[in-house]
Chains A and B, each alone.
Chain A
Amino acid sequence: MLQENVEKLKGIMENYQKKLGNNDDGNGEFIFGRGGEYSDHSRYCPDINTLNDQSKD
């Protein structure tokens, strides 16, 4: 894709995000609201095995 189109796209996206107050920076912290897809809980949750081990103590 031409660099000018990338710039155009970036402008459209930034304008859109501003309108939505969207704080997504595209860095991949991304979880799924509905689709049933598995998501990586380690991004925000403690390890389940650690927690379960602690609860057995």
Chain B
Amino acid sequence: MTNPKTDFKKHITVIFEPTVACNLRCRHCYQAKTEYDVHKMPLETLDAFIEKCAPHFCHVEIIWHGGEPLLMGHTFYLEAYERFRGASQRFGTEFGFSVQTNGTLLDEEYLKIFLGSQTPVSISYDGPYNDFLRQETGKTDAAIALLKEREVDFSCLSVISSVSVNHLIELYEYFKEKEISVKINPVYIDGAASLHREIAITKEEWAEKFIELFDYWFHDEDCNIYFQSCEIALRRALGKGNVTCLGICMFSYLAIDAYGNLYPCGRMMNEEFKLGNIHDLEDDIREVFLSPNYLDLLKKNEERAEGCAKCKWFSKCHSGCNAAAFVEGDLEKPSEFDCYFNRQIFAHIEEVLRSVDQSKINPFAKAILERN
């Protein structure tokens, strides 16, 4: 007899966008195309999701995203976590949570909710360059101070733009000095960023500066923070770990909006990728993987992979991210930006590992190498 929790995939990650409304208007925000619709997810939609998802997976990872997810208010999360706890007992499903927020609405009550539910907090924050893309830096600084004061498990996500790309090492040192773990991502030209081309960086700039930063990080014996961007690059270069945006999201990753519509990814919430609505599904969220739009995406992904199959680095990137390819206009070809970057960084790390001086190495890099 088959087990409904293990007969397909055991694990699924779901980007939960309970609203795309936001109290900020950042210059790079890809959600600008939604016009920050103020609709909020009713609890009935959350209930439908739980009933149709929890019975079919051992582990469900929920990422609260938006818009600004804290605009939902405390009551929504109190009710939501109560429901997830109930589902965990009923279905034996394990739930994991995290939240991506600009931090401006973070208060004691939210901290209590997130601490009580073991929900790590990720703050969208660009350090000394925060004002360039974002707004209300003072409020975000206050949120970070509060998180540190309460010793909450948190990290930051920094978006790299034209103003910061030449200062990546300084940015890394900034977060080290504050003992805040961080991940950096290049700005992608989508949504509001399409109207602010001056914030863009080239693929050459990103690769060159990231490689400089990687070398600095790799030999930094005093590293005291998780620096996920370099950790991921090193792990992937070693062929370790599965990275969603390096081509393995299919069948393991979904996004849901405030109306209950399901999509393959939080960055692909367009009509052409709509997979169905949670309220319309019979009893099993996995039905969306057989929807025409999902099968079409799969076909294009496979075509992209076929074109990349002979590349030396194919086993490390699996032809890359669907959303990045889509933003550049053709799902059947890899994102030129990402492809260039991946080729440069993987080749560089291969070289670094051949010539590495093992006596002076970042403790996190060392741990990754030792576990290889």
Q: Which residues of A contact B (CB under 8 A)?
A: 1, 3, 5-6, 8-10, 12-13, 16, 19-24, 26-41, 44-46, 48, 51-52, 54-55
Tell whether, in the assembled complex, residue A38 and residue B283 are in contact, meaning their CB atoms are under 8 Å apart: no
Residue in A8, A23, A29, A55 whose beta carbon sits within 8 Å of that of B222 in the complex = A55
Please classify how large the interface on chain B is, using the bins under 10, 10 to 19, 20 to 34, 35 or more.
35 or more
Tell whether, in the assembled complex, residue B245 and residue A32 are in contact, meaning their CB atoms are under 8 Å apart: yes
**Whose C-beta in chain A lies nearest to the C-beta of B298?**
A16
Determine the main DSSP class of A at the interface with B: loop
Q: Which residues of A contact B155 (CB under 8 A)?
A: 38
A31-B244 in contact given A46-B363, A48-B225 (Cβ < 8 Å): yes
Tell whether, in the assembled complex, residue B371 and residue A9 are in contact, meaning their CB atoms are under 8 Å apart: no
Tell whether, in the assembled complex, residue B245 and residue A1 are in contact, meaning their CB atoms are under 8 Å apart: no
Interface residues of B in 317-359 (CB under 8 A from A): 318-319, 321, 324
Tell whether, in the assembled complex, residue B363 and residue A6 are in contact, meaning their CB atoms are under 8 Å apart: no
Q: Which residues of B contact A (CB under 8 A)?
A: 2, 7-11, 13, 15, 58-59, 61, 63, 65, 96, 98-100, 120-122, 124, 154-155, 157, 181, 183, 185, 222, 224-226, 228, 231-232, 235, 240-248, 250-252, 266-267, 282-284, 286-287, 289-290, 295, 298, 301-302, 305-306, 314-315, 318-319, 321, 324, 363-364, 367-368, 371
Q: How far is the CA of A23 from the CA of B240 in the complex (A)?
A: 10
Residue in A26, A29, A34, A46 whose beta carbon sits within 8 Å of that of B364 in the complex = A46
Residue in B232, B242, B367 whose beta carbon sits within 8 Å of that of A23 in the complex = B242
A33-B245 in contact given A3-B2, A38-B121 (Cβ < 8 Å): yes
Q: Which residues of B contact A38 (CB under 8 A)?
A: 98-100, 120-122, 154-155
**Whose C-beta in chain A lies nearest to the C-beta of B10?**
A26
A44-B286 in contact given A20-B305, A30-B13 (Cβ < 8 Å): no
Q: Which residues of B contact A22 (CB under 8 A)?
A: 247-248, 318
Q: How far is the CA of A47 from the CA of B18 in the complex (A)?
A: 32
> Which of A9, A12, A31, A38 is packed against the most chain B CB atoms within 10 Å?
A38
A44-B287 in contact given A3-B2, A6-B7 (Cβ < 8 Å): no
Tell whether, in the assembled complex, residue A21 and residue B321 are in contact, meaning their CB atoms are under 8 Å apart: no
A20-B120 in contact given A8-B290, A41-B226 (Cβ < 8 Å): no
Using A33-B244, A35-B266, A36-B157 as known contacts, list a sample of 19 further A-B pairs with CB atoms less than 8 Å apart, ordered by residue number in A. A5-B287, A13-B289, A16-B298, A16-B302, A20-B305, A22-B248, A24-B242, A29-B241, A29-B242, A30-B242, A31-B228, A32-B243, A34-B244, A35-B65, A35-B267, A36-B122, A36-B124, A36-B183, A54-B363
Q: Which residues of B contact A3 (CB under 8 A)?
A: 2
Tell whether, in the assembled complex, residue B247 and residue A6 are in contact, meaning their CB atoms are under 8 Å apart: no
Least CB distance from A35 to B in Å reads 7
A31-B241 in contact given A16-B250, A22-B248, A38-B98 (Cβ < 8 Å): yes
